[in-house]
Every structure is written in C-alpha cells, then in structure tokens.
Amino acid sequence: MFKLNINGAIHVVDAPANMPLLWVFRDLLQLTGTKYGCGIGQCGACTIHLDGAAVRSCSFPLESAAGREIITIEGLANGDVLHPVQKAWIAQDVPQCGYCQSGQMMQAAALIAENSDPSNHEINQAMKGNICRCGTYLRIQKAIKQAAKELASYRVLDDGL
Amino acid sequence: MDRRTFFRISSISGGGLLISSLFPLGCQTPKPIGPDWEPNFFLRISPDNTITFSCAQSEIGQGTSTGLAMILADELGASLEKIEIEFAEGSEERFGYLQDTGGSNGVRMTYQPLREASATAREILITAAAQTWNVSGEACYAKEGAIHLKNTDKQIPFGDLIHLAVTLPAPRTIQLKEKSEFEYIGKPAIGPKTYQAAEGKVPYGIDVQLPDMVYAAIQRCPVWGGKLVSFKSDKAKAFPGVIDVVELEPTELQSNDYKGGVRPGVVVLATNTWAALEAKKLLEIEWDFGPNGNKSDSDMREELEAAKNQTNEITHDFKNGAALFRNGMRYIEASYESPFQVNACMEPLNAVAYHMGYKVEVWSGTQSPKMTRERIAELTKLPLGAVTIHNQPAGGGFGRRFFIDFVEEAVILSELIRKPVKVTWSRADTFSTSKYHPFRTEYWSAALDRNNYPVALSNKGVVEKPNGYRPYPYSLPAAFHKYLTYKDGNLLPRASWRSVMAHPWGLGLECFIDELAHEAGIDPVQFRMDLLDKAEIVEQVLVPWVGDDLYPQKLKRTLEVAAERSDWSSNGQNGIFKGVSAIGYNTSYCTQIADVPMVNEELKVHKITAVFDCGLVINPKQVEAQIEGSIMWALSALLKAPITVQNGVVQEKNYDTYDLLRMHEAPEVDIILLESEDAPSGTGEPAVPGTAPAVLNALFAATGKRIRQLPITKSLLAQGELT
C-alpha cells in the first residue's frame, strides 16, 4: 500500500511498487490528463511535478513517489484560476491536437518557477525533451515568455506587501 | 489471489474519487432530453438555447472543428463561445463523404453545405419571430443566438422560437451573408479544444474508460505477411494484473486498403494498461516471417530502379513531351529518394469496443467514423444500424487514423470475451508494426537545347498514380510514365502520411526544376515564373475532395510575393543562402523560401518564408498553425533518421531511434496568407511537400552540392555531388 499526495488530496494505492506513476494516475485514479507518449522518458507527454521538479511519470515508480508532493495537470490551476502557463497557452492558441500539451505546460511551469525571464536558448534547452508532432513549438516559445512575465509580476506584487 | 481485484485504491479528503459511472469517462455527457429542433444534421437547438454543432469532420489537431463552428456561428447568427461542439457518430445516411477527414478537405468540403444549412435555419427562425411580432421578415435579423427586431430592443432567443420553427417549412431560396457581415470568419478565434487542452481535458480515445473494461496489448507479427507459429504465455500470465493471453487472427487487407490488414498477433488481456504492455514483453512467440523476411528497404530501391528501367508506357503526354524529348542536344537526369516514414501521432493508436453480440459500440479517434462503421458492420456481419462509432478527438491523425486496423482489433477481441476492450498500442508498436509512408523514388530527365534550356521533360515515379491529382503546373512539355510499382507487392503495408504522394513528387519536381534553372543559367525564381506565366489551367478529375483544377497563375502569385517578402535578391549575401519551392496541392498554393546559413558540417535552417493561398481564410491563426506544423513535419523527414527495414523487420522502436524535430531545431517561420475571394481550400497538408526542396535548393546555393535524398546526413553533406 502506498500513500500518494496528488494535487492536495491523499490517495491510498495498492499496486506493484514498480508501477509507473503515469499508469497509477491514468488507470487507477482516472486522472487522464497526464498522457502516455513513449514510455521511455523521450517525449515528455507524461511530465508532472514532484516536489516542484518536472519529472517523467512514465519512468517514475510508485514506491519512490510515496509521501512526496505530486502535481498533475489537473492540479496546475488554483481552483478556478488557471496557472499563467495555462492562460498563456490559451491566449497564444498553442494546441493543435493538444495531446502533448499537458506535458509541455508542466515542463514550462517548472521552468518559469525557477527562471522568471528565460532567454530563447534557456527555453529551448528546458523544452527540448518535449516532442510536439503537430509542430506548435513557435507558439509554445511565445506562450512561455508571456507566462514568465505574468508570473514575475505576481512576485513583484508579493514582494511589495 | 484474484488478479482482477489485485489493484485497490481508496481516496481520502476530496479530489481523486473513483468515479463510477455508466457513461464513458471523458466523453460528452448526454444532453437533456427535450423537444430540440434539428433542422439539419449539423445543428440542434434546445429550448434552453443551447446550440449544438454536430461536426462531421474529425478533430485531429487541424482545427477543422473550430473553423466549421465559426462558419456556423456566422451564418446562423450565434455566438461562437456558446456553441457546443459534438463529434458526429459515423453515419453514411447523415453525412456521406463529409465524414472522410483527409486530403485537407474538412473546411473546403463542408463550407458550402454548412453555410446553406445554417442560413436555412436562420431564415426559419426569422420567419418564426416575424410571425410572433407580426412584422415582416426583413425587419428581423439574427445575432448572438437571438432574433432581433431592427431599431428596437426586442429580441427572442432561438430556444424560445423552436416550438414554432418546427412547424415551418424551409424557404425555397435563401440568402447567404456577405463577407462584410462576418463576425468570425477571417479573424483569429480560439476554439473549445484550446480551452480543453489547456486543462488536459480533451476526451481522446485513449482516455475512455468503461465499467468492467478489459485492457489489451498486442504483440503483432513484426514482418508484414508473416504468420504466427506458436507461443508461450506462462511468464506473461504470471505478471500481476494479467487476466489471459489469447491469439488474434489477422484480417485480410481489403482492396480499399483503409480496411483490414490486422496482423496476426498474441494478445495480453489485463486489468490495466501497464500490466498489458509489460506482460506483452514476456511473451515468447515463434513466427514464420514469410517471403518479406528476406527483404530490406534497400530492396525497395532496387525494385523501383528495375521498374523504372522496364517501364516505357507513357500514360500522360503533356504538350507532345514524348516526341519533343527526342530533340535534345544534351540530356540530364536525376532521381530523388524518399524513404519509409511513420506517422508517429502523439496519441498512440487505440480503440475501445464493446461487442454485445447483437450490437457493437466503438470509441476511437478515426479519420472516418462513417467508413469505420461500414467496415465494422462488414467484419462482424451485423447490420449497419447495430454499429455505433463514437468519434473521439484524436492526438494526431496525419493520415494514419484513416486506416482502421486498430479498431478492428478491439472489436474482434471484444466479440471474443463479450466485454468492453481497450486496445492500446505501445509507442514501439506504432513504430514497428504499423502502416507506413512508402519508399518512393522519383526519376526525372530533361532534353536540353543548345542554350541548356529544357525542351521537354520525362518523369517516372508516383506522379501518375491512378486516381491521383495532376500536380504538374509548368508549361514545359513533359512525358509522364506509368506509375512505378514494387515487383512483389509491399514490404510494409501503406498508410497515408501527411501530404501522401505529394511528398515524393514535390521533392522530385521542385528539386529537378531547380536543377534545370541552374543548367540554363537562370535565377530559380525567375525560371519558375516564366514557366508558370505560360502555363494553362491543369484540369483535375473533380471529386468532392479534390475541389478544383490547378491554376498556375495562383502559384505564380505566391512566388512573386514570397520573393519580395524574403528579399530573394539578397541570396548569398551576409552568409545567408536561399532556396525556393512552389507547390500546388489540395487546391491551395504555397511557395516556400528557405534561408540557410553557410554550411560547414551541420545544416541549420535559419528561416522559412511561406506564402500561402488557400482561398477564403476562415481562422487565420489556425491556418498559420497548420503551415508551421506542416513545415516542422517536413523538416523531421528531411533532417532525422527514417524508418529502415532489415529482413522484414522495422528497426526503429521508439523516439530514441526515430527522432522528431524538437523545439531547439525549429526555424523561424514567416507566413503570408494571400487574400482571396475564392472558396476555402486545403490548409493541413499543402505546406508539407515544398519544405524539403526549398531547403535542399538552399543547400545547393550554399555549398554547390545537390543532395537528392532524405534525410540529409552528415556524410551526405560531406560527400554530396558537386555540380
């Protein structure tokens, strides 16, 4: 039995210790926003946050996630308020088929949490593990820049209090 | 221990509740039952003024559902944000060929019928309101989901008029709106799929879950045409979560090869996807690979070469090309090779089927739910009315999801166990045992006059594919030979791949035209413009999905604009070299100019300028997205390793051996959409064929080397033929 903290809720999961988190989410917990793309950590579609870091859930075993803070795409928004990354993704009309975008957004959110003003090069390096077959890369770049600015502006507000 | 109940979960404190529902998760919840008005198969209006658009076309990432909803909103007089989009179940009766999503035909085929249907509904609603107010229809107009009385505040929501509308006949003549009246068409609009995708809520087939559903993964025969001999399943059965292991019998490829072609296989049935995929790796299977077991992709090259040498029949002699070809002072020839490719949709192929014996229901993202329904009826021998195909939005189609072997598998397995079955393909399955873009070679030769200017051309390859598009836009006489085929049939089964045969013929045509320009000592843009200037309209066999004839003047216009926009005359300055291509396909026209810096060892595409004529632009943001996406697609095939075959077996298994273009490799893209009053034409594919030749032609400008095959490799760059 493993206790998982996902998006602020506790789930007790009875499954093999080496079952990847991706499949725990999708098949056991009906959290299907995180996607299966390759199973070997090469495409980024399965990206989630583990203690704030971007992690490929297809290659992360259940037992290593116990007790840690997991955020999936379902938990990226703050209740009804979308994360700046999600807002920017909408504003820039990023998705085509949309399948890779949960992973793209999670990867991007982790980047801008660390780096409030990423350069083009830094964006490319952070995102190069996320494949988009529909080729939305150019809009993702714009959306990340927009989201970083918005997130930075919240920080300024926080600091000012 | 009972394997079925091995996995248990419980949830505490809010979120993550196991949702037990009779309805497939991730699908549309059913609408309230009531006296809705359905004036046509596209549109349903409820008493509470919910406007539902029943989209015939699949949403595979091309944005067609958004574009069509915009057309409906404009013509009907509804608010786009308030329109609910559902994807129509497969139905020949309702939609016919409109449910075939391919050939970049979604908006262009549906545009006129949808406008007419929406305008008709609008006129009936206006009549209903006019009767209610006792005024003439001319005093009324439709806007934001209500009929308004001019010069007053009076309005009646559509939903309040439907009880009267349903009694009224449609007018004999209708008036479509003028372009000046459009609220949505021609402007960027963000569709529902964007909002859904931003929250990870798009209901893909792979997300569908039904109560009591069994998860299946299949080890398919690695060689096309092979047979299953025997298998051992004890190790697989021991994996936690596995229910059973069964054999899957193949279905024969049909003459319409969208259907059939299920490979023989061994199936793991389990309680969850991971167990099925992992246990599959533990199967011990013996195959008889058959004759393809001795063949490799290099054999395809040889077979096409042999076919070229044996083929002399000219099936299309353009402007007396065959005779004129004999009058050359000098001859040049070149061949252009395009290897096997795979679609690699981000969402691996999957289908959920529930065969209850007397009826069957399917949930899957396909590119033709209508064709899927017909085929499943044929396969199961059930009447058409007993087959329901729910069409899910898909994580990419690109042609692969037109070929429905993956649906047939789920239906066969469900029939066997009489439970809902979800078949999920692993990524490796989608690479090694799928259906592929064929290996093709285009052979071109030219008779040149004493000024090294071409007199006539000769082509052998795929241009003359039966039932194909007539793609050649230039005025030079040309002899087109009978389509080249493989000697012994397919090494790999084929599927459509974004732009299909335009990819190899576009490569050959636009590279060879460039070589001709160079031979003649004429600037490549000018050379093409002269030939297009003198060219006549190329007639096509007009079927709904072809749309229109090929207009060389339209192609020329894209060339002119692109040359100016990209500052073509600066070619070679500041270390930037340019190459051009001009392609007419799916009734649209696209010139691309590639900017490539001086090449040392590695090729970096700095920028692509694309000028695109697709008639009336519905949603410019989506059209630009399609062009960008097409370019990225084409660059993957140009720059990355292809699919290779050794002894019948595809060697590439995942993204570590068949990589796709990644963000840091994306060039800058500058797009101009030409204004046009013509009917909307294709946007999903027409920008694919021109990217590779534009880049290869730029490479020639930068290095003097002609590379005539895909992909470009370091060794090719090092050794490429200097001309």
User: What residue of B is the nearest CA neighbor of A91?
Assistant: B190
Predicted confidence at residue B34, as pLDDT, reads 62
Residue B6 pLDDT exceeds 90: no
Predicted confidence at residue B244, as pLDDT, reads 98
d(CA B564, CA B483): 37
Show residues of chain B in contact with A7, CB under 8 Å: 15-16
User: What residue of A is the nearest CA neighbor of B239?
Assistant: A16
User: What residue of A is the nearest CA neighbor of B623?
Assistant: A96
DSSP B465-507: -TT-------SS-EEEEPPP--TTS-SS-B---TTTTHHHHHH
Size of interface A-B (CB pairs under 8 A): 227
Dihedral over alpha carbons A22, B14, B32, B117 (to 10 degrees): -40
Predicted confidence at residue A159, as pLDDT, reads 66
Show residues of chain A in contact with B274, CB under 8 Å: 19-20, 22-23, 27
Candidates B25, B64, B346, B430: best to mutate against A (most CBs of A within 10 A) is: B346
pLDDT band at residue B14 under the 50/70/90 scheme:
very low
User: What residue of A is the nearest CA neighbor of B60?
Assistant: A97
Q: Work out the average pLDDT over B400-404.
A: 97
Residue B15 pLDDT exceeds 50: no
pLDDT digits (tens, 9 = 90+) for A139-149: 999 999 999 99
* B90 within 8 A of B369, measured Cβ to Cβ: yes
* B427 within 8 A of B657, measured Cβ to Cβ: no
* B171 within 8 A of B123, measured Cβ to Cβ: yes
Q: In which region does residue B517 sit, left (phi positive, over 0), alpha (psi from -120 to 50) or beta (all else)?
A: alpha
Residue B265 pLDDT exceeds 90: yes
CB contact under 8 A, A134 and B240: no
Tell me which of A62-66, B145-149, B426-430, B675-679 is least confident: B675-679
Structure tokens at A95: 């998705």
pLDDT digits (tens, 9 = 90+) for B582-597: 999 999 999 999 999 9
Show residues of chain A in contact with B660, CB under 8 Å: 131, 133
Contacts of residue B567, Cβ cutoff 8 Å, sequence gap at least 6: none
Show residues of chain A in contact with B270, CB under 8 Å: none
d(CA B400, CA B497): 7
CB contact under 8 A, B427 and A37: yes
pLDDT digits (tens, 9 = 90+) for A26-78: 999 999 999 999 999 999 999 999 999 999 999 999 999 999 999 999 999 99
* B594 within 8 A of B576, measured Cβ to Cβ: no
Based on C-alpha coordinates, what's the Rg of chain A?
A: 16
CB contact under 8 A, A27 and B14: no
Structure tokens at B255: 């003459």
d(CA A118, CA A141): 10
d(CA B602, CA B592): 21
pLDDT digits (tens, 9 = 90+) for B170-215: 999 999 999 999 999 999 999 999 999 999 999 999 999 999 999 9
Residue B354 pLDDT exceeds 60: yes
pLDDT band at residue A160 under the 50/70/90 scheme:
low
* B34 within 8 A of B50, measured Cβ to Cβ: no
* A148 within 8 A of A118, measured Cβ to Cβ: yes
Q: Which of B198, B396, B668 sits opposite A99 (nearest CB)?
A: B396
**Which of the given ranges, B14-18, B263-267, B677-681, has the highest pLDDT on average?**
B263-267
User: B677-714: b or e for each residue (b if 16 or more CB lie within 10 Å)?
Assistant: eeebbbbbbbbbbbbbbbbbbbbbbbbebbbbbbbbbe
Q: Which residues pair with B284 in a beta bridge?
A: B232
With a pLDDT cut of 70, the percent of chain B lying above it is 95
User: What residue of A is the nearest CA neighbor of B393?
Assistant: A97
Q: Work out the average pLDDT over B699-720.
A: 90
Measured distance between the N- and C-terminal CA atoms of chain B, rounded to whole angstroms = 73
At CB < 8 A and 24+ separation, what contacts does A122-127 make?
Answer: A123/B663, A124/B663, A124/B664, A125/B664, A127/B663, A127/B664
Average pLDDT along chain B: 93
Show residues of chain B in contact with A120, CB under 8 Å: none
Q: Burial level of B119, CB count in 10 A (0-12/13-18/19+)?
A: buried
ipTM: 0.97
CB contact under 8 A, B395 and A127: no
Show residues of chain B in contact with A84, CB under 8 Å: none
For tokens 């199973």, what's the residue? A39
Pinpoint the alpha helices (H) of chain A.
Answer: 21-23, 62-65, 84-91, 101-114, 120-127, 137-160
Longest Cα–Cα distance of chain B, Å, equals 86
A97 CA to chain B: closest CA distance, Å? 3
With a pLDDT cut of 90, the percent of chain B lying above it is 90
Residue B177 main-chain phi, psi, to 5 deg: -70, 155
d(CA B483, CA B465): 5
CB contact under 8 A, B274 and A23: yes
Contacts of residue A156, Cβ cutoff 8 Å, sequence gap at least 6: none
B647 C-beta neighbours (distance < 10 Å), count = 13
Based on C-alpha coordinates, what's the Rg of chain B?
A: 28
* B408 within 8 A of B372, measured Cβ to Cβ: no
pTM score, two decimals? 0.94
Distances in Å between the Cα of B222 and the Cα atoms of A131, B228, B264, B349, B648 are 26, 10, 9, 17, 8
Q: Work out the average pLDDT over B488-517.
A: 96
Residue B479 main-chain phi, psi, to 5 deg: -105, 115
Q: Are strands B478-481 and B576-585 parallel, antiparallel or unpaired?
A: unpaired
CB contact under 8 A, A13 and B9: yes
Structure letter (DSSP) for residue B157: E
**What is the SS3 assignment for B560?**
helix
Q: Which residues pair with B557 in a beta bridge?
A: none
* B407 within 8 A of B366, measured Cβ to Cβ: yes
For tokens 């007539």, what's the residue? B470
Tell me which of B22-31, B282-291, B306-315 is least confident: B22-31
